[in-house]
A = this chain, B = another copy of it.
Amino acid sequence: MTATPDALVFDAFGTLFDVHSVTRLAESLFPGRGGALSQAWRTKQLEYTWLRSLMGRYDDFRRVTADALDWSLESLRLDASREQRTALERAYRELEAFPEVRGALERLARGRTLAILSNGHPEMLDAVVDHNDLRAWFGERVLSVHDAGVFKPDPRTYALAAAGLERPVAAIGFVSSNGWDAAGAKSFGYAAWWVNRGGAPVERLGSPPDAVVADLAELATRLG
Within 8 A of B (CB), among A70-91: 70-71, 74-75
Please give, as numbers and ranges, the residues of chain B lying within 8 Å of A200 by CB-CB distance: 75
Contact B153 A71 (CB under 8 A): no
Contact B48 A204 (CB under 8 A): yes
Contact A205 B75 (CB under 8 A): no
Chain A interface residue count, CB cutoff 8 Å, equals 33
A-B pairs with beta carbons under 8 Å apart, 16 shown: A47-B180, A48-B205, A50-B50, A51-B153, A52-B205, A55-B154, A55-B155, A55-B183, A55-B184, A55-B205, A55-B207, A56-B187, A57-B187, A57-B205, A57-B206, A57-B207
Check A51/B184 contact, CB under 8 A, given A56-B155, A155-B56: yes
Check A54/B52 contact, CB under 8 A, given A71-B203, A201-B71, A206-B59: no
Report if A68 contacts B (CB, 8 A).
yes
Listed in ascending order, the chain A residues whose CB lies under 8 Å from chain B are 47-48, 50-57, 59, 67-68, 70-71, 74-75, 151-155, 180, 183-184, 187, 200-201, 203-207
Contact B53 A54 (CB under 8 A): yes
Contact B153 A75 (CB under 8 A): no
Q: How far is the CA of A52 from the CA of B54 in the complex (A)?
A: 11
Please give, as numbers and ranges, the residues of chain B lying within 8 Å of A53 by CB-CB distance: 54
> Smallest CB–CB gap between A68 and chain B, Å?
7
Contact B50 A54 (CB under 8 A): yes
Q: How far is the CA of A184 from the CA of B129 in the complex (A)?
A: 34
> Smallest CB–CB gap between A160 and chain B, Å?
15
Check A201/B51 contact, CB under 8 A, given A56-B155, A59-B206: no
